[in-house]
Amino acid sequence: MDKYNSMKIFVKIAELQSFTKAAELLNIPKATATTAVQELESTAQVKLLNRTTRTVDLTTEGLSFFERCKDILSDVDEMESMFQVGTKNIKGKIRVDMTSVTARDVVIPKLPQFFKMYPDIEIELIGSDRKLDLIREGIDCSIRSGTTKEAGLVEHPIGTLDVINVVSPAYIKKYGKPKNIDDLKNHLLVQYVQHFGGRPETFDYFDGEKTREIKMKSIITVSNIDAYRGACLAGLGICQNPQPGITKLLKSGELVEVLPKFRPQSMPLKIVYPQRRFLAKRVRAFIDWVEPLVKELIDPKLRS
């Protein structure tokens, strides 16, 4: 096997910490992945990976080799396309991540336009509502919100998301409409967690200086955005939702804003991608295409 393909396989194994997952992602036999690493270890004359029945970890030498392989692969990838002119010459597969709502309502309906511009690009779209490890999962870029910064990732700011407190008319009919913070002791909150068993959510609001948290009673906990919205529509509690994702529901009256003076702090929205010396042209093409779509979502003035 040539060393270029061996390095690609090794990098994917190191990122996913699994021979099996890497082989599945690259659509190759697991034996081929094993052989690729063995050949690299034989050439480098060092052990690159510590392998047990459950884990695969980089050795100290393997970590240095891994970082160098990523640089080389990025250099080759960029070199192959550096003299290409026009969008039709950009090709390859990219893996992108975003929330299920963003994927369903914003990106997927417009993808035919993207493929018309870039017919040789293939997209694997992960509509996940949990935070993924881009490097371990082999993801090229992700649309994310929040202030947390992660090592090894580049952040490209897009704008900010306003977050508002909403309930359904059915909820108001049963429990009344909260008018101030003290009223919340008689109300319910829909709990959202990425993993069940995690820290219960609180009702958060920004007082102009810091975020305040209020513990509330809850009768339902969900772990994805669609279920979160559905619980709110069913009248099961107050939800704190990014406004752009529920604009239509607010206009139709299916959801109603409450406590407008006690909104959570706005969240930065950004595109993030693994830090490398070069960003592949196909990934840059997707980022440049998707950014205006997301900006339209958060800024109504940009909508046609």
- CATH architecture of the domain covering 3-81: Orthogonal Bundle (1.10)
- CA-nearest of 131, 155, 144, 141 to 102 is 144
**pLDDT tier at 173, thresholds 50, 70, 90:** very high
* Stretch 31-59: mean pLDDT: 89
Instruction: Rank 79-88, 152-161, 235-244, 277-286 by mean pLDDT and report only the highest.
Output: 235-244
Instruction: Name the strand (E) or helix (H) holding 167.
Output: strand 163-167
pLDDT of residue 304: 45
- What does DSSP assign to residue 200? P
Higher pLDDT: 279 or 16? It is 16
Tens of pLDDT, residue by residue over 129-141, are 777 788 777 788 9
Tens of pLDDT, residue by residue over 92-138, are 788 899 988 888 888 999 999 999 999 988 898 988 777 778 877 77
**pLDDT tier at 82, thresholds 50, 70, 90:** low
Higher pLDDT: 6 or 296? It is 6
Class of domain 163-265: alpha beta
How many residues are given for the chain? 304
Residue 84 has pLDDT above 70, yes or no: no
pLDDT of residue 197: 62
pLDDT of residue 150: 79
Residue 190 has pLDDT above 80, yes or no: yes
DSSP per-residue codes, the chain: --HHHHHHHHHHHHHHT-HHHHHHHHT--HHHHHHHHHHHHHHHTS--EEE-SS-EEE-HHHHHHHHHHHHHHHHHHHHHHTT--SGGG--EEEEEEE-HHHIIIIIGGGHHHHHHH-TTEEEEEEE-SS---HHHHT-SEEEEESS---TTEEEEEEEEE-EEEEE-HHHHHHH----SGGGGGGSBB-EE-SSTTSPPP-EEEE-SSSEEEE--B-S-EESSHHHHHHHHHTTS-BEEEEGGGGHHHHHHTSSEE--GGGPPPPEEEEEEEE--SS--HHHHHHHHHHHHHHHHHH-GGG--
Residue 198 has pLDDT above 80, yes or no: no
pTM confidence score: 0.71
What are the residue ranges spanned by the domains of the chain? Answer: 3-81, 87-160+268-302, 163-265
Q: Over the chain, what is the mean pLDDT?
A: 87
pLDDT of residue 73: 80
Tokens of 62: 């393997």
Residue 42 has pLDDT above 70, yes or no: yes
* Stretch 185-196: mean pLDDT: 87
Distance CA 102, CA 92 (A): 23
- Is-same-fold flag (87-160+268-302; 163-265)? yes
Higher pLDDT: 28 or 138? It is 28
* Stretch 28-51: mean pLDDT: 92
Does the domain made of 87-160+268-302 have the CATH classification 3.20.20.300? no
